[in-house]
Chain A
């Protein structure tokens, strides 16, 4: 199958689509049109490229993690260092792209949801840079566990709205952002932070994040002339993983997405939408959803706020049923352990989200041959998470 040709008609196989209220239908259709127009516009591409290199810090290194490789005793482990980007996560790749798009569409007010706060920070940065007004929705539970990022957003000039409804996490922040969007449609651009939501968002965010995989391909070729044996990324909504995978879909590289296993899939306290969910329609898309037998969306759990989401990007659901990508999960404990191991082995503090990918990559590397290679996308740095790790270790800082 030619995986890279999707979405077709707004869908990835049966997944995706535009399950949104009528008020939003003309808006998502207009967005689709504008995006297609600007995507191939020479000035737009040049401006984005300029900002990605000179503002965000691209290209990011593909670092051979020699100590970790030795420790695992198997495949060579490479880290794609998205943690070194401005803001500390891959999120800026997408926010710069969409903020430029919003500006060209004549929108002056940007709204966004955020879980860990990284997308909120990246949105606030792009908006400050481009002279746009940013308002960020964040669940009160996430405000509590990621309060450093809340203050960063405020310092960057964004307004932060605390969301008290539902589970008070990412899914409720998206609900509230959608309600704001319906209310303020004529002036407002909704800047979604992952490959989720109604078409064309999963495609737009994937395209802007694909710079990750494109660089991996190029950098890897200059090291070995081939493709990596495997590439691994963590999956919340799935944007860093999709950006890693998409350019590699038509290569022999084995692709693995790592979901948050929380306290274990058997406990019900996790966020593994593909691993333990069923097909449903949620946040404007048909995809795998953690839900009960009557279609009520469940509350989720993860040690990492950025993975704590009961849905997943529809393209991931598609790549799962088509068996092009393997989806696995890693528990809170395994992720925390990987956080500590990478910190000590390489002197890199990873965010808790990609610590899930690191944990699984280490398991895989041990089973792989020494002449094989594995790329892990390190989607963000761990500064925001040191308080959580301290709590986890029972230490006061």
Chain B
């Protein structure tokens, strides 16, 4: 499956639904909506800039959940939220999760909330029936990995490299090895989605060859939005084209 990430409300709140629709038309199976944050430490320049555009456009977490609602219901695709922890913390775990559930959100990825810090959060998420999606990276040791595999719900988000988000031209050989090893250890207990850096169909193919069930594409999509800030129609056409290209490699 192909997961398409966009920063919600970039370049403006009115653009997000149309962007999601173009991606779905092109073959994206799951929409991942990012809540813009002032200090995105896991993101490279592309997503940093998109967060800034969305914040400047006045986007707030409740607005993002409304967008999620519209996308989930009208486009009939699963919507996953990606957010740093502070916007959730500020609203309160329970309140945020209740609102997310009402907005049709399927799962939430919180890159700066490791399992050790999320026992309370996870309890509420389980109660509301929202998936808590954890990450595994090249530095995750076997013991952590087995805890993370048992804790994650929906899928396991595998980051195949040391680094932040950002579209890459190519991957080092170790990235393929990391994915293959993690896929082996996960042993079909949960689907594996690989994300960070993927920008081309050939990347999709190589990670699928290593056993990934899904791939997540973010900066390559956001970059396409950024390139076409002044021409909405061209933006949507190019996004649909990008999604078609990336989904031409059919994953499971």
Interface residues of A (CB under 8 A from B): 17-27, 165-166, 171-172, 175, 178-179, 182-186, 278-284, 286, 289, 291, 293-298
Q: Does B154 contact A (CB under 8 A)?
A: no
Which 6 A-B pairs give the minimum distances between C-beta atoms? A295-B90, A295-B87, A295-B86, A23-B137, A183-B163, A22-B135
**Closest beta carbon of chain A to B252's beta carbon, Å:** 24
Q: Are A23 and B116 in contact (CB under 8 A)?
A: no
Q: Is the CB of A18 within 8 A of B114?
A: yes
Interface size class of B (residues with CB under 8 A): 35 or more
Shortest Cβ distance from residue A356 to the other chain B in the assembled complex, whole angstroms: 25
Task: Give every chain B residue within 8 A of A298 (Cβ-Cβ).
Answer: 38
11 additional A-B residue pairs with CB within 8 Å, beyond A22-B135, A182-B163: A18-B117, A21-B111, A22-B140, A182-B162, A283-B41, A294-B61, A294-B90, A294-B91, A295-B88, A296-B87, A298-B38
A381–B196 alpha-carbon span in the complex (Å): 45
Q: Which of B139-163 contact A (CB under 8 A)?
A: 139-141, 144, 148, 159, 162-163
Judge whether B44 is part of the interface by a CB distance below 8 angstroms. Answer: yes
Q: Which of B42, B55, B91 has the most CB of A within 10 A?
A: B42
Q: How far is the CA of A208 from the CA of B61 in the complex (A)?
A: 40
Query: Given that A280-B90, A295-B86 are known contacts, is A18 also in contact with B116, CB under 8 Å in the complex?
Result: yes
Chain B min CB distance to A142 (Å): 17
* A183, A278, A283: the one within 8 Å of B164 (CB): A183
Q: Which residues of B contact A21 (CB under 8 A)?
A: 41-42, 111-112, 114, 135, 137
Known: A19-B117, A284-B112. A175 touches B89 (CB 8 A): no
What is the distance, in angstroms, from A12's C-beta to the closest C-beta of chain B?
15
Among candidates A165, A179, A281, A294, residue contacting B112 with C-beta atoms closer than 8 Å: A281
Choose from A19, A27, A165, A279 the contact partner of B48 (Cβ within 8 Å): A165
Are A297 and B39 in contact, with the CB atoms below 8 A? yes
Question: Could you write out 19 A-B pairs with CB less than 8 Å apart?
Answer: A20-B112, A21-B41, A22-B114, A22-B134, A22-B136, A26-B141, A26-B144, A172-B39, A175-B40, A179-B44, A182-B162, A182-B164, A280-B90, A281-B89, A283-B39, A295-B89, A295-B91, A296-B38, A298-B38
Collect the chain A residues with CB atoms within 8 Å of residue B210's CB.
none
Q: Is the CB of B90 within 8 A of A27?
A: no
What's the Cα separation between A289 and B86 when bound, in Å? 10
**Count of chain A to chain B residue pairs whose CB atoms are closer than 8 Å in the complex:** 110
Q: Is the CB of A20 within 8 A of B164?
A: no
Cβ of B60 within 8 Å of any chain A Cβ, yes or no, is yes
Across the two chains, which residue of chain B brings its CB closest to A299?
Answer: B38
Bound Cα distance from A293 to B139, whole angstroms: 35
CB atoms of B159 and A23 under 8 A apart: yes
**B1 at interface (Cβ–Cβ under 8 A)?**
no
In the complex, what distance in Å separates the CA atom of A182 from the CA atom of B117?
19
- Known A19-B113, A19-B117, A21-B112: A291·B39 in contact at CB below 8 Å: no
Q: Which residue of B lies closest to A296 (CB)?
A: B38
Q: Is the CB of B116 within 8 A of A25?
A: yes
Q: A20-B114, A21-B42, A295-B91 are in contact. Are A26 and B139 (CB under 8 A)?
A: yes
B162-A281 in contact (CB<8A): no
**Does residue B85 face the partner (Cβ distance < 8 Å to A)?**
yes
Measured between beta carbons, the chain A residues less than 8 angstroms from B41 are 21, 175, 178-179, 182, 283
Of A26, A172, A293, which contacts B90 at CB under 8 A? Answer: A293
Residues from chain B with Cβ under 8 Å of A286 in the complex: 89
Judged by a CB distance under 8 angstroms, whether B207 is at the interface is no
Q: In the complex, what's the smallest C-beta–C-beta distance from A159 to chain B, in angstroms?
A: 19
CA of A295 to CA of B39 in the docked complex: distance in angstroms? Answer: 10
Q: Which of B61, B117, B140, B163 has the most CB of A within 10 A?
A: B117
Q: Which residue of A lies closest to B113 (CB)?
A: A19
The interface residues of chain B lying within 8 Å CB-to-CB of A284 are 112
Asked if B138 is at the interface of the complex by the 8 Å CB criterion, the answer is yes
Docked-complex contact A17 and B117, CB < 8 angstroms: yes
Q: Which residue of B lies closest to A25 (CB)?
A: B114
Q: Is B37 an interface residue (CB 8 A)?
A: yes
Check A26/B39 contact, CB under 8 A, given A19-B113, A293-B90, A294-B90: no
From residue A258, how far is it (CB to closest CB) to chain B in Å?
25
CB contacts (< 8 Å) of B136 on chain A: these are 22
Contact assessment for B159 and A22 in the assembled complex, using a CB-CB cutoff below 8 Å: yes
